[in-house]
């Protein structure tokens, strides 16, 4: 694996480029990094995996606060592909990464040979209600700070609601109160959660790339209904439902990895990603 840097809006962004063969760009979720992708991305020989850590994530600098937007992240990813000499690729991602991939499939369709949308949190509208908890956490961080904000969130009706129906979401949200989180965490969370892919339903319906949509139950932030709606709307899409992370994290990772691997291998072998 090798890391490569690009500069966008005076911010240094860090990306990973590993393997050889047809290129597959795979993006992480909100607050995560390349480590999240590395955990679930199938270790198949014969393809090249790239991940750009979005502004304010992983080793990437934040840049200006108005750069915390899915459309900006998508342009950064396309710029990273350009610097690595990649014209065409499969593109995918987890949660926020899926929204980035969805936008790229709409704005750069000639470059996209296949699409993977894992645990989508957005359809096409901004500020989806399933992400209101991220906005709430951002407000607590801003108003109360990390320690008091964490205590307030743990006692909140939102946390109690999520513990019953989606405990993995609670665990994820609590990580934003960790002491090693940077000062811009609240701005990042609120800006992205209130944002959207910047595409229309008609544009999503017009995607012509073979598509895999991955979802599961017991995930309020990433409703299974979102995954099913996208799979039903995109003409060449297929749906994969996996074990919820809250039930069995190991099985979840194994099933996502195997499902994405099967999907990519089918097109790699057919030469569709060449």
Beta strand pairing call for 11-19 and 2-8: antiparallel
pLDDT of 186 higher than 80: yes
Higher pLDDT, 274 or 126: 126
Residue with tokens 């900006």: 72
Residue 46 has what pLDDT? 80
pLDDT of 241 higher than 50: yes
Residue 43 has what pLDDT? 67
Task: Name the band, by pLDDT with cuts 50, 70 and 90, for residue 1.
Answer: confident
Residue 249 has what pLDDT? 94
Residue 45 has what pLDDT? 72
Residue 148 has what pLDDT? 97
Choose among 235, 213, 228: nearest CA to 99: 213
**2-126+196-270: in CATH 3.40.50.1820:** yes
- 3-state SS assignment for residue 4: strand
Q: How many other CB atoms are there within 10 angstroms of residue 154's CB atom?
A: 14
pLDDT of 125 higher than 60: yes
Per residue in 6-47, pLDDT (tens digit) is: 999 999 999 999 998 899 999 999 999 999 999 988 666 788
Task: Name the band, by pLDDT with cuts 50, 70 and 90, for residue 268.
Answer: low
Average per-residue pLDDT in the chain?
Answer: 94
Per residue in 53-99, pLDDT (tens digit) is: 999 999 999 999 899 999 999 999 999 999 999 999 999 999 999 99
Domain residue spans in the chain?
Answer: 2-126+196-270, 129-189
Residue 65 has what pLDDT? 87
Residue 272 has what pLDDT? 47
């Amino acid at each position: 694996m090798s890391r490569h840097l690009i500069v966008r809006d005076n911010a240094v962004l860090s990306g990973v480029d590993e393997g050889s063969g047809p290129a597959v760009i795979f993006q992480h979720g909100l607050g995560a990094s390349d480590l999240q992708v590395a955990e679930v991305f199938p270790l198949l020989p014969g393809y090249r995996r790239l991940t750009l850590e979005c502004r304010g994530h992983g080793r990437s600098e934040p840049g200006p606060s108005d750069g915390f937007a899915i459309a900006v992240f998508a342009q950064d990813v396309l710029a990273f592909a350009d610097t690595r000499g990649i014209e065409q690729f499969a593109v995918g991602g987890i949660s926020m990464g899926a929204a980035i991939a969805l936008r790229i499939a709409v704005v750069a369709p000639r470059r996209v040979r296949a699409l993977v949308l894992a645990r989508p949190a957005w359809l096409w509208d901004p500020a989806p209600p399933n992400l209101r908890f991220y906005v709430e956490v951002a407000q607590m961080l801003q108003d109360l700070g990390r320690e008091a904000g964490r205590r307030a969130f743990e006692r909140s009706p939102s946390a109690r609601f999520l513990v019953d129906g989606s405990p993995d979401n609670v665990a994820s949200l609590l990580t934003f109160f960790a002491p090693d989180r940077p000062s811009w965490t609240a701005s990042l969370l609120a800006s992205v959660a209130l944002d959207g892919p910047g595409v229309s339903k008609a544009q999503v319906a017009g995607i012509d790339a073979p598509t895999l949509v991955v979802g599961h139950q017991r995930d309020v932030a990433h409703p299974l209904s979102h995954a099913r709606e996208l799979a039903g709307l995109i003409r060449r899409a297929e749906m994969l439902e996996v074990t919820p992370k809250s039930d069995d994290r190991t099985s979840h990772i194994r099933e996502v990895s195997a499902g994405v691997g099967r999907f990519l291998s089918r097109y790699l072998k057919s030469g569709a990603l060449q």
